[in-house]
Amino acid sequence: MSSDSDTPKIKILPNGPYVVTGNVPLRERIIVQKGKHYEYKDGRELPQAEEYQLCRCGKSKDRIFCDGRHTQVGFDGTETASRKPYAERAEKIEGPALDLLDDGRCGLARFCHREEGSAWKLTEKSDNPELKQEAVIAASECPTGRLVAVEKDGTQLEPVYEPSIDILRDPAKGVNSGIFVKGNIPIESADGELYEVRNRVLLCRCGKSITKPFCDALHLI
């Protein structure tokens, strides 16, 4: 029988960290370029725990876990992202054999780029079965969940993820990237409201995003 403490969840503290409960596996992943596309390689091994607090302000000396520094730096963690559901925010781009939903939430992780072009270009050429498959990969690998590939019968194509969290690093750009939350982990705002539960979201961990709590690539600036 499962208890609340077994259920994965992320609670955002006011002007403070993300409190992760429910034994959510945590790992570090590094974005690497291979030709014109991108892959992950494993980073450092991270400690596992039933509960842990991930830094949201970007000032923790540890870089991953909150060390309380948010109180010293006067972090303003006000959540500013739209709370409308993805389906209402996303625009539909129609291709010949595949459609693409796009809500514009970009973390510049670059997984939307493949050898033969971007998710958008590949969708336009989706009457070619190989390019259609590439378009699906380009959409599905986006950690922000910005892009979703949709079959013409309306079926949304999502990768299957167990609940887990990947701390992303982007050494090619000399920065830490966001917190990739996978597998439909509920995220509760500091005000108690639940965000729409999604299979993929990228949370800000530099403290600079203007669409908190989500990453908007401002770690690159």
Q: Which amino acid is at 206?
A: C
Sheet of strand 156-157, all strands in order from the earlier edge strand to the far edge: 91-94, 99-102, 147-150, 156-157
- Cα distance between the two ends of the chain: 47
Q: Per CB under 6 A, does 60 bind ligand FES?
A: yes
Residue of the chain from 21, 30, 31, 56 that contacts ligand FES (CB under 6 A): 56
Which positions from 149 to 188 touch ligand FES by CB under 6 A, shown as an x/- string? ----------------------------------------
Burial class (CB in 10 A: 0-12, 13-18, 19+), 204: buried
Residue (33 or 72) nearer to ligand FES, CB: 72
In whole angstroms, give the CA distance from residue 126 to residue 211: 32
Residue of the chain from 8, 16, 107, 145 that contacts ligand FES (CB under 6 A): 16
Q: Per CB under 6 A, does 219 bind ligand FES?
A: no
> In the bound complex, what is the minimum distance in angstroms from residue 70's beta carbon to ligand FES?
4
Q: Which of these ranges, 39-47, 57-65, 117-125, 155-163, lies near ligand FES under the rule CB under 6 A?
A: 57-65
In whole angstroms, give the CA distance from residue 196 to residue 186: 8
Q: Per CB under 6 A, does 69 bind ligand FES?
A: yes
- φ, ψ at 89 (rounded to 5°): -90, -25
> In the bound complex, what is the minimum distance in angstroms from residue 186's beta carbon to ligand FES?
20
Helical (H) or strand (E) element with 18? strand 18-21
The footprint of ligand FES (CB under 6 A) covers 16-17, 55-57, 59-60, 66-70
